[in-house]
Amino acid sequence: MTPAEVVVGPTPREFWIGLGRAFAGALIFAVPVLMTMEAWALGFHLHPLRLALLLEHVLRSMNRL
């Protein structure tokens, strides 16, 4: 059997680096979800003709139409 080892936590610098990485990961996940929710809300609240015009504008700007 091995003797009990003392577990030491991260240094303050490692803690802040980890916290920054967690925050960046949360942003990477949250921003697209927020944009999707905004797109759905926009689609539900726009008049169908204006939504069709917006879709046409987006497709033309992407050279898809």
* Model confidence pLDDT, tens digit, residues 24-49: 999 998 888 878 888 788 888 889 99
Q: Which residue has the higher pLDDT, 12 or 63?
A: 12
Phi-psi domain of 63 (left: phi exceeds 0; alpha: psi -120 through 50; beta: other): left
pLDDT on residue 13:
95
Residues 6 or more apart whose Cβ sits within 8 Å of residue 10? 18
- Distance (Å, rounded) from C-alpha 1 to C-alpha 27? 45
